[in-house]
Amino acid sequence: MIQIDDALLSEDLFSKRFVCDLGACKGACCVEGDSGAPLEPEEVGLLEEALEDIKPYMRQEGIDRVEETGVFTIDIDGEFVTPLVNDEECAFVSFDRNGTAKCSIEQAHRDGKTDFLKPVSCHLYPIRVTQLKDYVALNYHYWPICDPARSCGAKLDVKVFKFLKEPITRKFGEEFFEKLVEADKLMESSKK
């Protein structure tokens, strides 16, 4: 583990390679798993405010589910998560004509309908953030459905943290990301 400010980071964020390959995985992370996407408490309010602008991008099944449960449910760990349709895909998923899962929230954002991009947990994936007593832990999450992303990342030689510059900066700030860059340089120079 590497400590930067009050964050503990897995060395995998610097040593592993990762670049999403939607053409290969078809957005499987939006349709597989045992619960919805983790939501931060403030994201629940943002989703509720933006819901009417997001609905035109959603499938009817997702709209029905959100109207039944609201924009979140509580998982077995007691955390806010997006609701699932038939205990499978996220209620906010839609599919393009090639069968690739797309985020309705992100599509609404890209079209300028809402300021809310998407849950930060989705944006940060494959980093999983865990709040500890005195620290926040950033760990690399291995999921076999992301094998294409690992292959693509290896081919392009892109480290996990560099691929996730935008969401890391969104969540933790530009200064924090620059500290990751410096830590990476130090680790690389110590290998030589």
Strand, helix or coil at 94?
A: strand
Q: What is the pLDDT of residue 74?
A: 93
Alpha carbons 59 and 95: distance in angstroms, whole number: 8
Q: What is the pLDDT of residue 188?
A: 86
Could you tell me the pLDDT band of residue 61, with boundaries at 50, 70 and 90?
Answer: very high
Q: What is the pLDDT of residue 33?
A: 78
Residue 29 near residue 125, CB atoms below 8 Å: yes
Tens of pLDDT, residue by residue over 164-187, are 999 999 999 999 999 999 999 998
Tens of pLDDT, residue by residue over 138-160, are 999 999 999 999 999 999 999 99
Alpha carbons 151 and 19: distance in angstroms, whole number: 8
For the chain, which residues make up each domain, given as ranges? 1-18+126-192, 26-123
Q: What is the pLDDT of residue 168?
A: 96
> Phi-psi category of 46—alpha, beta or left, where left has phi over 0 and alpha has psi -120 to 50?
alpha
Cα 192 to Cα 13, 158, 184, 186: the distances in Å are: 19, 19, 13, 10
> Which pTM value belongs to this model?
0.89
Tens of pLDDT, residue by residue over 65-106, are 999 999 999 998 889 999 999 888 999 999 999 999 999 999
- The alpha carbon of 13 is separated from its chain's Cα centroid by a whole number of angstroms, namely 15
Q: Is the pLDDT of residue 192 over 80?
A: no
Q: What is the pLDDT of residue 66?
A: 96
